[in-house]
Amino acid sequence: MKIVDVLSPDRTHCNAPGVSKKRVLEFIADFFSEHTDFIDANHLYQELISRERLGSTGIGEGIAVPHCRLSGCPRITGILLKLDSPVDFDAIDGEPIDLIFALVVPDEQNDEHLETLSAIAELLQCGAVRQQLRNCSNSDKLYQIATGAQ
C-alpha cells in the first residue's frame, strides 16, 4: 500500500484550524464530506468520536491518525492536515498534535486497514519527513512530501 493510493491533492490541507480536539474532528468530518461523494459529515463525526472513546488516536510526536470504519465506504480514503496551531489530542506522549492523517475504511477491509495504518506510521516515524511536513506553507507541497512526489 502506498500513501498515494489513499490520499489525493484535494484531500490535503495545510493550515487547517486547530482549536480543540472536538473542533478538529468536526473539521475532519466536514472536509471528508466536501471531498468525497459517499460520506455524511454528521455520521462520520459520530464514528470518529466513538473511535476516540476507545482510546486516543494521537500516536505521539505531534501526530494523530483518527480513523474509523464506515459502512457504504467503497475504498480506504484518507486526508492529511497540517494544523495552524497544535491542539491537545490526548496523545500517548501527552504532547499536542499538529499533523493529522485521518482514514475512513470500508467495514470489510481488515487487512488493508492495518496495512494502511502501518504505511502511515512508517512515513510519519521519520523525523525529517515530519519536519518537512511542518515546514510546508501550502497544500500542494504537503501532498508532494507525503506521497514522495517531490
CATH of the domain at 133: 3.40.930.10
pLDDT of residue 136: 96
For residues 135 and 142, what is the distance between their CA atoms, to the nearest angstrom?
9
Q: Which residues of the chain have pLDDT under 70?
A: 150
Rg (CA), the chain: 14
The whole domain housing 143 covers 3-147
**Are 90 and 58 a contacting pair, CB within 8 Å?**
yes
**Other CB atoms within 10 Å distance of the CB of residue 77:** 23
pLDDT of residue 138: 96
Number of residues assigned to the chain: 150
Q: Which residues are identified as catalytic?
A: 67
Predicted confidence (pLDDT) per residue in 48-86, tens digit: 999 999 999 999 999 999 999 888 888 999 999 999 999
The tally of domains found in the chain comes to 1
* Residue 81 bridge partners (DSSP): 13, 100
